A and B are shown apart, each in its own frame.
Chain A
């Protein structure tokens, strides 16, 4: 039985703009990995961080909590945060149901 990719982060940098594309499931187990990755990058001269969640298939409350936490950090840091909404319904639902779709800095309307 082939199991879909559980979690993967790919990185793209253009000048001082960094995009981290997160694919798979952002949950209790994987959220700390993304937190570490962002923590390691935010100090090396990144001015604009985009989290591309397009390929996110699932997100639980730990994942959501991390997004809120990063949004707070960005408010007090020399870098800005932008989120790209997931295309998969299950991850979109979590954002919509918790009100995160309106409160977090998404590039376009999640609904």
Chain B
């Protein structure tokens, strides 16, 4: 019996030994497989204490040995990090997948962003957890796989940030707005602060925009800016970036660095108040030319900038440089165009005795192009000459042509030419030009109450009286276009209560939102009720009527001259420039 028992025990012992061997074998195999994985793997018990962590997990959590990790309370590990979800929401212990499983919940994989409070290093991790069950099917422990996706996630975010940046930067051609957009872009996605500095033509630096996650802290930036000299040390910081065009990264701003750069106690206090953690300065350049620099600061978010941030910031800066340059060129061009346009219109209309005169000029909304509409009124022997026309084409070419036409007409008029002859002279002048140069023109000579009219491809002037609206004059060919063209003159005696309106086709061609044109009929309908009113009333009604009809921005410019016999006898003039501020 005893030997049986002994034999039995020996058998059991052998079995246990075999089991233990098998277990050690499977542990070794487990360790061999899981231990060498590059993903971090941890197993935790029901109290969330670590039962196992592979080498990658130890490194990931910042521990040298398993014993250190085992003896550290999990809550303490969590408190070393700032943790956010992909949506930017703060993550607590209760959101962690393994904890949710222990709480009996289903746990989806969780993407988190962590920033180590001490080192400022940020990481993106994907946490996946699964329950390990005991023989009763109860959750005994949990296994978590932590996949580090920092590089992949940051590159995704960087690309989508750049795509948004491109849209944002393209949204405005206004110079000041573009500068603000550039500063706002980086905050808070890349940095807590962003400053934009530009070099002017003399190479002087100017801070043109500052953005901060918390606008209330901007006053701090304002105070700090007073300490920045206009002439920076070209060997350091921003000065170096602006002179060399090389980016600079200060991953860790130390207390010594602050003390060194502070000029006095107050300055140091301000620098400390900002809580500078990390600074990144990248040049904004186009080719070899350095426009300025972007200064990105990490403060309250604790993140330490690294090479990835540097590269992203450089890409943002190069896009910003293009946007800034474009908006600068655009505002310069708009100014040139406006100045040019203005020089092509009379400074002031003359007063014609016994008549009232008004004009309208509404430039096309595209401010950087010079429109082709022009008008002029000037005295000639025995009366007055009035000219209105439209050079087809846009921009500086059209402006040059407009100047040519106006000067040709003015010079020719010195020699007592009538309207038809003036048009013929302009036609010949235009035909001498190598490139196709055509224009419409309506020329009217006023002598006493008689008006002599010649028309070259231009809408006929309208005479408005209490009896209705009637076109005056006869159509003639476009100027500069056709060989053998001739112009005739017709005479109009302006009735005592009549108003004469000469306009360019920008009025009749205006479109509403359905694409319907304003047309001659609508123009006549709008003018008819105004009979007897002052010339400036006509001008204001025309400008207002077209504005009410039109949808969106008008592509073409428009001009009109309004002439009315003045009962009072004193000459008067008015100029309805509804958009004076744009000229």
Which B residues lie within 8 Å of A69 (CB)?
436
User: Which residue of chain A is the closest to B439 with respect to CB atoms?
Assistant: A61
Among A10-18, A41-49, A79-87, A91-99, which stretch is in contact with chain B? A91-99
Which residues on B sit within 8 Å (CB–CB) of A97? 457, 459, 475
Task: Select from chain A the residue with minimum beta-carbon distance to B483.
Answer: A103
B485 contacts A99, C-beta separation under 8 Å: yes
Most buried by A among B392, B457, B555: B392
* Interface mask (A94-111 → B, CB under 8 Å = 1, otherwise 0): 001111101100000000
CB pair B478–A99 under 8 Å, yes or no, is: yes
A65 touches B515 (CB 8 A): no
B505 proximity list for chain A (CB < 8 A): 60-61
| Contact call B482/A103, Cβ cutoff below 8 A | yes
Kindly state whether residue A64 has any CB partner on chain B within 8 Å: yes
B363, CB-defined interface residue at 8 Å? no
A61 and B476 form a contact (CB under 8 A):
no
Q: Which of A25, A28, A72, A100 contacts B478 (CB 8 A)?
A: A100
B481 at the interface (CB under 8 A from A): yes
The answer on a CB contact under 8 Å between B485 and A68 is no
Q: How far is the CA of A8 from the CA of B483 in the complex (A)?
A: 31
Check B436 against A61 for contact (C-beta < 8 Å).
no
Residues of A within 8 A of B475 (CB): 96-99
Chain B interface, >50% SS class: loop
Q: Report the bound CA distance from A6 to B514 in whole Å.
A: 10
Q: Give the residues in chain A near B485, CB-CB below 8 Å.
A: 99, 103
Contact with A along B513-532 (1 / 0, CB 8 A): 01101010000000000000
B114 interface residue, CB < 8 Å from A? no
CA of A65 to CA of B439 in the docked complex: distance in angstroms?
9
Q: Are A68 and B515 in contact (CB under 8 A)?
A: no
Q: Considering only CB atoms, which chain B residue lies closest to A67 in the complex? A: B481
A64 touches B555 (CB 8 A): no
Number of interface residues of B (CB under 8 A): 24
- A29 at interface by CB-CB < 8 Å: yes
Contact of B393 with A65 in the complex, beta carbons under 8 Å: yes
Question: Which residues of B have CB within 8 Å of A60?
Answer: 505, 509, 556
**Which residues of A lie under 8 Å from residue B440 when comparing CB positions?**
61, 98
Measured between beta carbons, the chain A residues less than 8 angstroms from B392 are 61-62, 64-65
Q: B436–A72 contact, CB under 8 A? A: yes
Selected from A27, A58, A61, the residue in CB contact (under 8 A) with B390 is A61
B402 → chain A closest CB, angstroms: 14
The reply on A76 being an interface residue by CB < 8 A is: no
- Tell me which residues across on chain A come within 8 A of B438, comparing CB atoms: 65, 68
Q: Are B457 and A1 in contact (CB under 8 A)?
A: no
Q: What is the distance, in angstroms, from A6's C-beta to the closest C-beta of chain B? A: 6
Could you say which residues of chain B place their CB within 8 Å of the CB of A98?
A: 440, 457, 475, 477-478, 481
Question: Across the interface, which residues of B come within 8 angstroms of A102, CB to CB?
Answer: 477, 482
Give chain A residues whose Cβ lies under 8 Å from the Cβ of B478.
Answer: 64, 68, 98-100
CB distance from A86 to the nearest CB of B (A): 15
Question: With A and B bound together, what is the CA distance between A99 and B438 in angstroms?
Answer: 13
Nearest Cβ in chain A — how far from B343, in angstroms?
23
A100 touching B514 by the CB < 8 A rule?
no
Near A by CB (< 8 A), chain B positions 466-491 give 475-478, 481-483, 485
For A62, A69, A90, A97, which residue has the most chain B Cβ atoms within 10 angstroms?
A97
Contacts of B515 in A (CB 8 A): 3-4, 6, 25
Docked Cα-Cα span, A31 to B478, in Å, equals 18
Also in contact, A68 and B555, with CB within 8 A (given A4-B515, A99-B476): no
Complex CA distance for A69 and B478, rounded to whole angstroms: 13
| Contact among A6, A28, A58, A100 for B481, CB-based, below 8 A | A100
Nearest chain A CB to B95 CB, angstrom units: 52
A27 to B475, CA, bound (A): 21
- Residues in chain A near residue B481, CB distance under 8 A: 68, 98-100, 103
Q: Which residue of B lies closest to A27 (CB)?
A: B509
B459 contacts across to A, CB distance below 8 A: 97
Give Cα A100–Cα B393 distance, bound, in whole angstroms: 18
- In the bound assembly, the distance between CA atoms of A100 and B436 in angstroms comes to 15
Contacts of B436 in A (CB 8 A): 65, 68-69, 72
B490 → A minimal CB distance (Å):
14
B contact residues around A61 at 8 Å (CB): 390, 392, 440, 457, 505
CA distance in complex: A88, B438 (Å): 24
- With the chains together, A65 CA to B372 CA distance in Å? 13
Chain B residues positioned under 8 Å from A1 (CB to CB): 514
CB distance from B547 to the nearest CB of A (A): 19
Cβ of A90: which chain B residues have Cβ within 8 Å of it? Answer: 517, 519
- Residues of B close to A25: CB separation below 8 A: 515
B477 contacts A103, C-beta separation under 8 Å: yes
The answer to whether B393 and A58 have CB atoms under 8 Å apart is: no
Q: How far is the CA of A94 from the CA of B483 in the complex (A)?
A: 18
Taken residue by residue from 357 to 395, chain B's Cβ proximity to chain A (1 for < 8 Å, 0 otherwise) reads as 000000000000000000000000000000000101100
Residue of B nearest to A62 (CB): B392
- Shortest CB distance B72–A (Å): 71
Q: How far is the CB of B394 from chain A (nearest CB, A)?
A: 8
| Alpha-carbon distance between A54 and B307 when the two chains are bound, in angstroms | 64
Closest A residue, CB atoms, query B475 = A97
Question: Bound state CA distance, A60 and B482, in angstroms?
Answer: 17
User: Which of B481, B482, B556 has the most A CB atoms < 10 Å from its CB?
Assistant: B481
> Do A99 and B482 have beta carbons less than 8 Å apart?
yes
Please measure, in the bound complex, the distance between the C-alpha atom of A99 and the C-alpha atom of B556, giving whole angstroms. 23
How near does chain B come to A37, taking the closest CB pair, in angstroms?
A: 19
Once the chains bind, are A28 and B556 in contact (CB under 8 Å)? yes
Distance (whole angstroms) from the CB of B383 to the closest CB of chain A: 27
Contacts of B483 in A (CB 8 A): 103
What string of 1s and 0s marks CB contacts (under 8 Å) between B443-471 and chain A?
Answer: 00000000000000101000000000000
Between A and B, 14 residue pairs with Cβ closer than 8 Å are A1-B514, A61-B392, A61-B440, A61-B457, A64-B478, A72-B436, A97-B475, A98-B440, A98-B475, A98-B477, A99-B476, A99-B485, A102-B482, A103-B482
Known contacts A28-B556, A64-B392, A65-B436; can you find 13 more A-B pairs with CB under 8 A? A4-B515, A60-B505, A61-B440, A90-B519, A97-B475, A98-B477, A98-B478, A98-B481, A99-B457, A99-B477, A99-B481, A103-B483, A103-B485
The 6 closest A-B pairs by CB, nearest first: A99-B477, A103-B482, A98-B457, A65-B392, A98-B478, A97-B475
